[in-house]
């Protein structure tokens, strides 16, 4: 039987290929050397002059008054150096100057040592589109001075003047940061403070390359002490309920711009400040 099977195999003719059926084609895959590499998005560097205005409300500290609440406006000018890759950006923010409008007749003065004691701040966020109307947003960030917190986003401020987390950021021998307050009726004094705020920026790119928007912030402050009796009186503050009263503005400037140039030219660099109702 096995011999018969072998003979049948040997005597069976091979089937001829059907010319109507195309032969199978083995695809040719490109080699790694032939693959086209997709270039990474190019990084773009820009420099801005920035103005941020923070509006809060302060209660009259005089215990013999009606203790009404009034708006107080603090404006910060800064130099921003930004690097953008695709829609993502990061920037370094150097504080140039701070000014608070008079409230209840008192003038707030920020010494040069106070300004110099503020560290360069690092931010990141996204610019959705490079055209006018593109959404500009930073991620939420925390900033503090006069205090060193392990978790600046979550840790509560100290409530004890002897707390070891309080630091002398301006190097004047007093814990916290020193601010000078002048009132024509009672004189001049110094108050020592620690502050932490959690904030983010939300704005829109304009046709001229500037960015306008709002600062969403939740600040809190601890008054460590003061060198005169009337500055030891409690003066509570609270956020303003209208976020439109805390705007920011960024104007493109030369890469060689300095803080001194921003402060001396702020009247022409920035548009008039209008706080919307």
Q: What is the pLDDT of residues 29-66, one digit of tens each?
A: 555 555 566 666 788 999 999 999 999 998 887 766 77
- Spatial distance between the Cα atoms of 179 and 193, rounded to a whole number of angstroms: 8
Contact 169, 177 (CB under 8 A): yes
Give backbone dihedrals phi and psi of 185, rounded to 5 degrees, phi first. -95, -30
Q: Does the pLDDT value for residue 117 go beyond 90?
A: yes
Which residues have a Cβ under 8 Å from the Cβ of 71 and sit 6 or more positions away? Answer: 55, 56, 57, 103, 240, 245
pLDDT (0 to 100) of residue 276: 55
pLDDT (0 to 100) of residue 194: 96
pLDDT (0 to 100) of residue 11: 40
Mean pLDDT to the nearest integer, 251-264: 98
- Spatial distance between the Cα atoms of 271 and 251, rounded to a whole number of angstroms: 10
pLDDT (0 to 100) of residue 27: 52
Counting Cα atoms < 13 Å in the Cβ hemisphere of 25 gives 5
- Spatial distance between the Cα atoms of 233 and 236, rounded to a whole number of angstroms: 10
- Spatial distance between the Cα atoms of 99 and 114, rounded to a whole number of angstroms: 12
pLDDT (0 to 100) of residue 220: 87
Contact 218, 199 (CB under 8 A): yes
Give the Cβ contact number of residue 52 at 10 Å. 23
Contact 193, 152 (CB under 8 A): no
pLDDT (0 to 100) of residue 219: 85
Question: 17: pLDDT confidence band, cut at 50, 70 and 90?
Answer: very low
pLDDT (0 to 100) of residue 31: 59
Q: Let me know the angle formed at the C-alpha of 97 by 230 and 193, rounded to the nearest 5 degrees.
A: 35
Mean pLDDT to the nearest integer, 18-26: 49
For 206-246, how does the pLDDT look when each residue is reduced to its tens digit (9 = 90+)?
999 999 999 999 888 999 999 999 999 888 888 888 989 99
- How far, CA to CA in Å, does 66 sit from each of 56, 101, 113, 130, 255? 19, 21, 36, 51, 51
Which residues have a Cβ under 8 Å from the Cβ of 101 and sit 6 or more positions away? Answer: 72, 73, 74
Instruction: Report which of 203, 248, 238, 219 is spatially closest to residue 143, judged by C-alpha positions.
Output: 219
Q: Could you tell me the residue ranges of all domains in the chain?
A: 44-139+178-192+199-220+228-265
pTM: 0.83
Instruction: Pick the more confident residue, 26 or 240.
Output: 240
Give backbone dihedrals phi and psi of 75, rounded to 5 degrees, phi first. -110, 135
Q: Does the pLDDT value for residue 196 go beyond 60?
A: yes
pLDDT (0 to 100) of residue 66: 75
- Spatial distance between the Cα atoms of 55 and 238, rounded to a whole number of angstroms: 9
For 136-154, how does the pLDDT look when each residue is reduced to its tens digit (9 = 90+)?
999 999 999 999 999 999 9
């Amino acid at each position: 039987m096995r011999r018969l099977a072998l003979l049948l195999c040997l005597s069976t003719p091979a089937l001829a290929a059907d010319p109507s059926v195309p032969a199978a084609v083995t695809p040719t895959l490109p080699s790694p050397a032939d693959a086209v590499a997709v270039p990474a998005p190019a990084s773009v560097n820009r420099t801005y002059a920035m103005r941020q205005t923070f509006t809060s409300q302060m209660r009259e500290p005089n215990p013999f008054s009606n203790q009404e609440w009034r708006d107080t406006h603090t404006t910060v000018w800064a130099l921003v150096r930004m690097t953008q890759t695709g829609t993502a950006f990061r920037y370094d923010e150097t504080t140039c100057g701070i000014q608070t409008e008079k409230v209840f007749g008192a003038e707030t003065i920020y010494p040069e040592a106070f300004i110099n004691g503020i560290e360069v701040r690092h931010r990141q966020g996204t610019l959705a589109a490079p055209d006018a109307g593109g959404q500009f947003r930073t991620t939420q960030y925390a900033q503090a001075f006069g205090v060193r917190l392990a978790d600046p986003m979550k840790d509560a401020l100290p409530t004890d003047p002897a707390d070891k987390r309080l630091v002398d950021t301006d190097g004047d021998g007093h814990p916290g940061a020193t601010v000078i307050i002048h009132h024509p009726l009672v004189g001049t004094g110094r108050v020592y403070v620690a502050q932490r705020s959690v904030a983010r920026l939300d704005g829109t790119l304009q046709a001229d390359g500037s960015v306008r928007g709002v600062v969403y912030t939740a600040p809190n402050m601890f008054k460590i002490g003061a060198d005169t009796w009337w500055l030891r009186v409690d003066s509570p503050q609270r956020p303003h309920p209208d976020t439109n009263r805390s705007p920011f503005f960024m104007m493109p400037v030369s890469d060689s711009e300095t803080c001194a140039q921003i402060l001396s030219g702020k009247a022409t660099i920035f548009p008039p400040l209008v706080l919307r109702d």
